[in-house]
Amino acid sequence: MSLAFKNLRGKPVRTAVLVILTVLLALTVFAGTLTVSSLRSGLGSLENRLGAEVMVVPYEATTKKSFENILLQGSTGYFYMDKSVYDKISKTEGIGRISEQFYLASTSSGCCSIPVQIIGIDPETDFTVQPWIKKSFDKPLGDCDIVVGNDLNAFVGDTLQFYGTDCRVAAKLEKTGTSFDTTVFTNESTIRKMIRASIDKGLNNFKDIDPEQVVSCVMIDPAEGYTADDVVNDINLHIKKVRAVRTKEMISGVSDSLSGVSRIVGILIFAVWVLGGVILLLAFTMSVNERRKEFAVLRVIGASRGRLARTVMAEALTVGVTGSLIGIGLGLLIMLPFANAVEGLLSMPYLLPDIWSIAAIACAAAAAAIVTGAAAAAVSAYRISRLDTGVILRGDN
């Protein structure tokens, strides 16, 4: 057993304090970086999942923010506009791909198994949802087939009821870190049936609509040679009672919030890092100072200056590695099981990165904590290597 390890074992309180400081350092850097990284993954995932460059919704849906709340905040809701809008938009110049979507919120009353957001798509024209649900369900959605988000407590083969319609769970999606994790997707004819039933049961605020004659949202990709701005401006200028929005513009609020959170987390990490570094520096300095005579004795029995420095550094590295492993372990225990709670707390898209990215963040956080401890100890190691043995032995007697 090395002298460094024996020194650490021989002073359990001092060692525990140093390890706890390193744990806090590694935990903060790891958890903070993982949070920011997850928010970035969530935003990227949201951008991918929205899948269209332009969305057209009823004007009221944008003023009441219900549209953004459904897609960004995970709220449930619905709104409708006349189907003729879809036809008008189709004829607008610069439209490349176009598809319609239908929204409905289920309720917690007896007619529905669970209260969720339901989105209906047209399997013939859809280019936004089907490409990414393909991984989980590589067939067109049939009548009464549903694909459920990852956070919903339903599994393939289950039957869920929405407004009296029994639906079979055909697939469960991978985690996206967005509101789509609590969404149910179905085809156009099934959701029209549900909308009709919700009106009949008096559970829909739009009592006078004909489900066959409405859509909720039109998704558009501009044709080649046209930009999203061209399409948005043209639609907003010529088609009344609707609002065309660029998806990038819609998520810019989320992006701004993400920047704010990233900045706060970054400042927190920096503050803890600096504070931890200073405290470790003081702790190592005090620890080495109180053992000056012991180091002088090591010189007496033949330890070189380099050996003294290496002993101090070995202590720092042992503390650093131990503290980092515990800190990262704690970080994993907190961040992985409670990812959904963190997502709910931040009210922002939140998607844990893949295992390799998490491993890379863990390694970087561990390295940061170990290097900080080693740098703090290096000052003491240098000073102790300059020790004047004769003077210390005389002075302490």
Partner 1 sequence: MLLKGEGIAREFIRVSGGSNRFTAVQDTDIELHGGQLTVLSGRSGSGKTTLLNMLSGLLPPTRGRVLLDGEDIYSLNDAKLSRLRNRKLGVVPQGQTAIHSLTVRENILLPCTLYGNADAADEEYAASLMERLDIAALASVRPAELSGGELRRMAIARAMIRHPEVIFADEPTGDLDDENTAVVFEFLRSAAGDGAAVLVVSHEAAAADYADRRLTMTKGEIAEM
Residues that bind partner 1 (CB under 8 A): 3, 6-11, 293-294, 296-307, 388-391, 393-394, 396-397
Least Å distance, CB 385 to partner 1, is 9
Q: Which is nearer to partner 1, 192 or 299 (CB)?
A: 299
Q: Which is nearer to partner 1, 278 or 391 (CB)?
A: 391
Least Å distance, CB 335 to partner 1, is 36
| DSSP classification of residue 282 | H
In angstroms, rounded to a whole number, what is the distance separating the alpha carbons of residues 78 and 325? 48
Q: Which is nearer to partner 1, 264 or 391 (CB)?
A: 391
Nearest residue to 101 via CA among 183, 217, 262, 260: 217
Q: Which is nearer to partner 1, 336 or 391 (CB)?
A: 391
Q: Which is nearer to partner 1, 11 or 40 (CB)?
A: 11
Rounded to 10 degrees, the C-alpha dihedral 136/86/117/244 comes to 100
In angstroms, rounded to a whole number, what is the distance separating the alpha carbons of residues 307 and 388? 15
Least Å distance, CB 3 to partner 1, is 7
Least Å distance, CB 2 to partner 1, is 9
**Cα–Cα distances in Å, from 53 out to 48, 296, 341, 351, 352?**
10, 72, 30, 22, 25
Nearest residue to 266 via CA among 37, 110, 4: 37
Neighbours of 160 (CB within 10 A): 19
Least Å distance, CB 154 to partner 1, is 59
Q: Which is nearer to partner 1, 95 or 387 (CB)?
A: 387
Least Å distance, CB 381 to partner 1, is 15
Neighbours of 392 (CB within 10 A): 16
Q: Which is nearer to partner 1, 201 or 293 (CB)?
A: 293
Tell me the helix, strand and coil percentages in the chain, rounded to 5: 60, 15, 30
Residues comprising the chain, all counted? 397
- For the record, the structure tokens of 253 come out as 């609020």
In angstroms, rounded to a whole number, what is the distance separating the alpha carbons of residues 89 and 241? 13
Least Å distance, CB 288 to partner 1, is 14
- For the record, the structure tokens of 3 come out as 């002298």
